[in-house]
Amino acid sequence: MSDYQDDDLESPRPHRPAEGVRIIGAEEAARALEEGQAEGRRPEDAPRFGDVPRPPEGPRPGYRFPLPESVDPASAVPRPPVAPGGYEANAGDEGFEDDYDDDAAASGPPTQQVEMPHWTEPPSGEVPRILAGEDGEDEDLGAWSGLASGQGPRWRDSHADWEDADFDDDLLGDDEERLGALDVNRTEHSDLFSFDDPEPETVYDDEPEPEPEPARRQVTTPIRTRPAPEYASPSGGSRDMGTAIGIGVALAIVALICFKAGPALTMVLATAIITFAAVEVFAVLRRAGYRPATLLGLTATVSIMLAAYNKGETALPLVVAMVVITSFLWYLFDVVKARPTVNVAATLLGFMWVGFLGSYSALILGFPNRHGVAALLGAVLCTVGYDVGGLFFGSQMGSRPLMPAISPNKTVEGLMGGVATSIILGALFGAMVDPWNVKRGFVLGLVVALMAPLGDLAESMIKRDIGIKDMGSILPGHGGVLDRFDAMLFILPATYYLVKLLKLG
């Protein structure tokens, strides 16, 4: 029920009695006519509604307006005679109009002539005395001569007439202080247009303090606000572990085949993984309300992978510079019509996070004598050991959350278990693969153990900020490609510079 209907039920409107018709008899009607309470029948000759008025009597005019061109308006319409100018009748002469006729006009001019004033003369007939030489000159011009130091007012027509001021500063009262634009001592950069800060109002103790207005949240980005997703408790997981293990084993087999084949096939696998991860990042940014240059970001990701593999480390600054400049031009020429500031930043975020950091895998594979393949294989094994060890120890013994505001599922016990597993696998890898050894493998495992949790937490921070749980769903049981290789993006640069530091390349 609407509010309008509720108001009608609570306060009903007053009822107006309806007008009706009452049939009366002949006696009652006659009595009403006698008392004047009713009107009788109108006479037959009285006008009624719809009657047409009678046409006017008398002769009809000879012409109708507008007049045709053949008829002169002056002769068609007769005009009354015009009285001659200068005739003035005596006041109270009532028979003036009757006495004046054509015979009087023809007999001669009127007996009394009055000269009419010129149109430039004032109606009063008085002229002010302002001309020199007339009577009263001393009286009228005395005041002017006193104000002008003995000189009378003069007429000025040309510019030379204004050379003499005819007045002094004492007359204008310039002894007062000049302010603002009239101040002759004002410098070019003065405080003419500066204003003092308003004095704070005095607040007395007995006056109640005004209540502060509620703060309003200002939205500065076109991001759609989403509720934070519900995460599982640290003691357990919600993923299908059987499917996750099966997908993990399949990925390991494909990776081992590529590593066995050599750096070229491994480069193809690395480029495919980095490209799929970039697709997921740009897709998530678009779902979050941004408009990144997706085509530019994906092209730049593939380009930097190929440039790093073929030209080495010197190609990275060139590709990054071209991507930054092209990102600005992308929105400057409206390839994508969107806000340039946040979307240029979103484009560079996706490229630098996935494309630039992922290109270090191509730099590692560029080391000669298959040393790059060995270094990348060792980094991958230590990363897998960190993930598996963290998952096992965290699910079995985890009780203290690591960073609950970023990733509620990660625990301190899981972190310690992952670090230990990564270091042990690194030492075993160094003992079995040349030119690595146990000491170098231990350092590799330690580097991976330090960088892997940073990569995991960085991706969790982005997902938490956007409001999603997984970057994608291409890998059942794992989520997206970036969910599985997020730690590798931080590990690849560290591994590359470690290999250069140890001179293993």
pLDDT of 160-185, one tens digit each? 666 665 555 555 555 566 665 566 66
- End-to-end alpha-carbon separation of the chain, Å? 81
Cis peptide before 56 (omega within 30 of 0): no
Q: 391-413: per-residue pLDDT in tens? A: 889 888 878 888 888 888 889 99
- Most confident among 56-70, 85-99, 297-311 (mean pLDDT): 297-311
What pLDDT score does 472 carry? 83
Q: 239-284: per-residue pLDDT in tens? A: 677 788 888 888 889 999 999 999 999 999 999 999 999 999 999 9
- Most confident among 26-30, 259-263, 469-473 (mean pLDDT): 259-263
Q: Report the candidate in 458, 441, 447 with the shortest Cα–Cα distance to residue 491.
A: 447
Dist. CA 113–CA 85, nearest whole Å: 9
Q: Report the candidate in 385, 361, 359 with the shortest Cα–Cα distance to residue 259.
A: 361
Q: Report the candidate in 314, 292, 294, 293 with the shortest Cα–Cα distance to residue 304.
A: 314
Question: 363: which 2 tokens?
Answer: 């730099």
What pLDDT score does 190 carry? 47
Q: 102-125: per-residue pLDDT in tens? A: 444 444 555 555 566 666 665 655
C-alpha gyration radius of the chain: 53
What pLDDT score does 128 carry? 55
Beta bridge partners of 411: 401
Where are the domains positioned within the chain? 261-366, 369-505
Residue with the larger pLDDT of the pair 489 and 118 = 489
- Most confident among 41-45, 135-139, 150-154 (mean pLDDT): 41-45
Maximal C-alpha separation, the chain: 152
Using left for φ > 0, alpha for ψ between -120 and 50, and beta otherwise, residue 150 falls in left
Task: State yes or no: pLDDT of 385 exceeds 60.
Answer: yes
Q: Please state, in angstroms and as integers, the Cα–Cα distance from residue 259 to each residue in 151, 246, 249, 256, 376, following that order.
A: 114, 20, 15, 5, 9
Contact 494, 459 (CB under 8 A): no
Q: Per-residue confidence at 4, pLDDT binned at 50, 70, 90? A: very low
Residue with the larger pLDDT of the pair 306 and 435 = 306
Instruction: Provide the 8-state DSSP code for 231.
Output: P
Dist. CA 378–CA 445, nearest whole Å: 8
Q: How many CB atoms lie within 10 A of CB 100?
A: 16
Contact 361, 381 (CB under 8 A): no
Question: 482: which 2 tokens?
Answer: 């970036």
Q: Per-residue confidence at 193, pLDDT binned at 50, 70, 90? A: very low
Q: Per-residue confidence at 7, pLDDT binned at 50, 70, 90? A: very low
Least confident of 75-89, 177-191, 226-240, 468-482: 226-240
Write the DSSP assignment of 17-81 as a string of letters: PPP------HHHHHHHHHHTSS--PPPTTS--TTPPPPPPPSPPPS--SSPPTTS-HHHHS--PP
Instruction: Provide the 8-state DSSP code for 353.
Output: I
Q: What is the mean pLDDT of residues 126-144?
A: 53
What pLDDT score does 292 carry? 95
Dist. CA 77–CA 56, nearest whole Å: 20
Dist. CA 502–CA 133, nearest whole Å: 118
Residues in contact with 468: Cβ distance below 8 Å, sequence separation at least 6, in sequence order? 229, 284, 287
Supply the pTM of this predicted model.
Answer: 0.55
Q: Per-residue confidence at 456, pLDDT binned at 50, 70, 90? A: very high
pLDDT > 90: what percent of the chain? 39
Determine phi and psi for 218, rounding to 5 degrees: -100, 125
Q: Per-residue confidence at 469, pLDDT binned at 50, 70, 90? A: confident
Residue 283's identity, in one-letter code, is A
What pLDDT score does 97 carry? 45
Q: Report the candidate in 271, 497, 248, 495 with the shortest Cα–Cα distance to residue 374.
A: 495
The angle at the Cα of 165, spanning 161 to 171, to the nearest 5 degrees, equals 150
What pLDDT score does 378 carry? 94
What pLDDT score does 174 carry? 54
Task: State yes or no: pLDDT of 324 exceeds 80.
Answer: yes
Average confidence score pLDDT of the chain: 76
Q: Per-residue confidence at 11, pLDDT binned at 50, 70, 90? A: low
Task: State yes or no: pLDDT of 317 exceeds 90.
Answer: yes
Q: What is the mean pLDDT of residues 123-140?
A: 53
The angle at the Cα of 36, spanning 34 to 40, to the nearest 5 degrees, equals 80
User: Burial of 383 by CB count in 10 Å (0-12 exposed, 13-18 middle, 19+ buried)?
Assistant: buried
Task: State yes or no: pLDDT of 211 exceeds 70.
Answer: no
Q: 67-81: per-residue pLDDT in tens? A: 777 777 776 666 666
3-state secondary structure 401-413: EEECCCEEEEEHH
Residues in contact with 175: Cβ distance below 8 Å, sequence separation at least 6, in sequence order? 169
What pLDDT score does 222 carry? 47
What pLDDT score does 328 carry? 96
Beta bridge partners of 401: 411
